[in-house]
Amino acid sequence: MSEETKSKDRSKEEEQKRKKGAFNEFGEQVEKFANKTAESIRKAIDKALASRNTVLTIRVNDDSNEKINRLVESGLFKTRSESAAFLIMEGIKTQQGLFDKIEGKLKRMEKIKQELQSIVSEEIEKGATKNNK
């Protein structure tokens, strides 16, 4: 084997080692990212579940039930209750704009109710005053 052939073979080996090293480094970075992501999800789940204190009985369709079960089977949640609570909270966060609009309308409705109560009270007082004369 000529010196040139040996040199080319060494170059190929070195290139393969370099590629293998780069691939391994990439794999390690992906693994680190996956671990960080999993930890972030665990923290979000723990935070979401920490404040649960109300029992709620609900009916869900088969597809929702399957999704809830999959989250438990995957090990992300210990129970179906935890899984459902997490999904409900995430849905509420996603629809925060809608809930803000609802809150604004409810405040307006409460103000109108108070105004109506005030009007009725005034009318009752006027009627009572007339009857006492």
| Domain chopping of the chain, boundaries | 1-50, 52-94, 96-133
Return the pLDDT at 126.
Answer: 83
CA distance 88 to 77: 14
Closest CA to 86 of 102, 98, 70, 99: 70
Q: What is the pTM of this model?
A: 0.52
- Region of poorest pLDDT, from 17-31, 91-105, 114-128: 17-31
Q: What are the tokens at 17?
A: 């080692």
| pLDDT for residue 133 | 62
The answer to whether 72 and 83 have CB atoms below 8 angstroms apart is: yes
Distance CA 1, CA 6 (A): 7
Dihedrals φ, ψ of 75, to 5°? 90, 0
DSSP class of residue 75 equals T
| C-alpha to C-alpha distance for 55 and 65, rounded to whole angstroms | 18
Mean pLDDT of 31-60: 80
> To the nearest whole number, what is the mean pLDDT of the chain?
86
